[in-house]
Structure 1
Amino acid sequence: MTDRPDRPDRVVPETARRRRRPTKQGTVLSEQVIVDTALRLVGQHGAQAFTVRRLGLALGADPSAIYRYFHSTDDLLLAVADELIGLGLDGWRPTGDWRADLREVGMRIHARSLAHPQAAVLAAYRTTGRANEIRAIETMLGILREAGFPDPDAVSLYHAFIDQALGFAVLDSAALALPATARHADNGVWDTAYRGLSPDTHPHIAATADLLAADMRRSAYPLALDLLLDALAARLPS
């Protein structure tokens, strides 16, 4: 993704920058339209091929118009990262069961990342400071504090929870973002390399080779999440 120096003087309020006429594509520019289009382009072409010029072409607008909405391409990237967070939370409602609620939030984060693997690899490690991230942190801290965890524990457990969720999101998204031939080749290694190992030299792999070949093709996140939630439950004050 190409970048340019910050130009905060160029970014103007939404009411002042809204176009009176639609773009060549019939679109009235807004932050949301730009973010949605950027998310789609990153998914189609990958992060390395994403440029503001390509974004401008997709919007039917001069690329320089993007900088009336965002200080830089990094600012736009943060908005895309925040959009992914928001998509994961949209439609979710707490049930009052802290464990079920945290599990659902974690699985939503993971699923949304896999739905946009190129963007997830690019953005999951960023701290946006934007509305959706703030909403997510407030939500998860609220779940933990209302469950009865003291504030120091709530913060450290939130940290462990979100790092696990984002770590698996990046790991699994990176695998999905591989070219299909590379992804197929990686999966095939469990058959070609591991199933053929001798029990004389590698008894544990040989004994479990079929199980390995099946299990390593799917994400371990649901199991890892349940193990983390078990650990959290054990630390909950009685």
Structure 2
Amino acid sequence: MRQRWSKQTILDAAVELLSASDGDEFFSMRKLAAELGTDSSSLYRHFRNRSELMLAIVDHVLIQAMHGYRREGPWRARLVDLILRSWDAYAALPQLARDASHYPGSGPGSQLVIEETLQALTDAGVPEDLVPEWYHRLVTLSVSLITAHAAGRSRSPAEQQQRRENFRVITLGAEPADFPALARYSSRLAPVGFSRESFLATVELVLDAVPARS
């Protein structure tokens, strides 16, 4: 008799499969079914298609990322905590992060992140009519940088090396007479990339601009 997998088991297996992937393998329901030792029909009992599955995976990941979160401390520290929880969760799942903008989540995990972000902005004293705007700014920034980081990680070592070499040629080969600033700083420039530290530094710059009253 064919085993019927629970939604929780399927999502756990999906996260494990995504974690093991190097970022450039296409995640599919067929691969997930094979990982579970079954066929795709077992998954379609819970998810109508890949998009619905991906939305559920995102929400599952966010629930795990929010484990232990407490609405305590200053608003800014809470926002940093929320944003870094998302960064750390997606950092382990580059393939999922690469598509983060397409799959915003569809359940309580996503609702919890949105709720706590809005609450932190409200507690900061941001005018009520500006809270949605600042929520969207923070989410757009975070998702964009998380996606860019994931895209970089999904390149093969050879592709990454070629990218660095191309950048070196472009910058170090600049004519000082035509590009004086580029020539001046070329030896200290590197291809765009984001570490956790640079991600946080960028977020802090945006938080500096939040129209907080407390």
TM range (shorter): 0.7 to 0.9
User: What is the distance in 2 between the residues matched to 1:47 and 1:22?
Assistant: 31
AA in 2 matched with 1:227: L
User: What is the distance in 2 between the residues matched to 1:117 and 1:191?
Assistant: 26
CA offsets 1:70-125 (integer angstroms, 9 cap, x no match) = 22222111111212322332233333211111112212222222221111112343
Q: Quote the residue 2:201 is aligned against.
A: 223
Assess if the C-alpha contact under 8 Å between 1:120 and 1:169 holds in 2. yes
Pair 1:202-2:188 in alignment: no
Q: Quote the residue 1:9 is aligned against.
A: none
Q: Quote the residue 1:94 is aligned against.
A: 71
Assess if the C-alpha contact under 8 Å between 2:149 and 2:193 holds in 1. no
Unaligned segments of structure 1, at least 5 residues: 1-20
- What is the TM-score of this pair, normalised by structure 2? 0.86
Larger relative contact order (Cα-Cα within 8 Å, sequence gap ≥ 6):
2
Assess if the C-alpha contact under 8 Å between 1:194 and 1:206 holds in 2. yes
Instruction: Report percent identity of matched pairs.
Output: 27
CA offsets 1:152-211 (integer angstroms, 9 cap, x no match) = 222211111111111111111111111221122213333232123232221101111122
User: What is the distance in 2 between the residues matched to 1:148 and 1:83?
Assistant: 31
User: What is the distance in 1 between the residues matched to 2:193 and 2:98?
Assistant: 19
Q: Quote the residue 1:54 is aligned against.
A: 31
Query: Per the alignment, do residues 91 and 191 of structure 1 end up closer, same or farther by CA in structure 2, a change over 3 Å counting?
Result: farther
Query: Per the alignment, do residues 130 and 47 of structure 1 end up closer, same or farther by CA in structure 2, a change over 3 Å counting?
Result: farther
| Offset of residue 46 of structure 1 | 5.0
| Offset of residue 225 of structure 1 | 0.7
| Offset of residue 143 of structure 1 | 1.0
Pair 1:40-2:16 in alignment: yes
Q: Quote the residue 2:110 is aligned against.
A: 133
Q: Quote the residue 1:158 is aligned against.
A: 135
AA in 2 matched with 1:134: Q
CA RMSD of aligned residues (A): 2.4
User: What is the distance in 2 between the residues matched to 1:45 and 1:209?
Assistant: 31
Q: Quote the residue 1:121 is aligned against.
A: 98
User: What is the distance in 2 between the residues matched to 1:50 and 1:31?
Assistant: 17
Assess if the C-alpha contact under 8 Å between 1:148 and 1:236 holds in 2. yes
User: What is the distance in 1 between the residues matched to 2:175 and 2:28?
Assistant: 50
SS at match of 1:144: helix
Name the larger-Rg structure.
Answer: 1
Q: Which moved more, 1:198-207 or 1:122-131?
A: 122-131
User: What is the distance in 2 between the residues matched to 1:105 and 1:127?
Assistant: 15
AA in 2 matched with 1:41: L
Unaligned segments of structure 2, at least 5 residues: none
Q: Map 1:141-180 onto structure 2 (within 5 A).
A: 141-180=118-157
User: What is the distance in 2 between the residues matched to 1:204 and 1:167?
Assistant: 28
Q: Quote the residue 2:49 is aligned against.
A: 72
Q: Quote the residue 1:8 is aligned against.
A: none
Aligned length: 211
Query: Per the alignment, do residues 138 and 81 of structure 1 end up closer, same or farther by CA in structure 2, a change over 3 Å counting?
Result: same
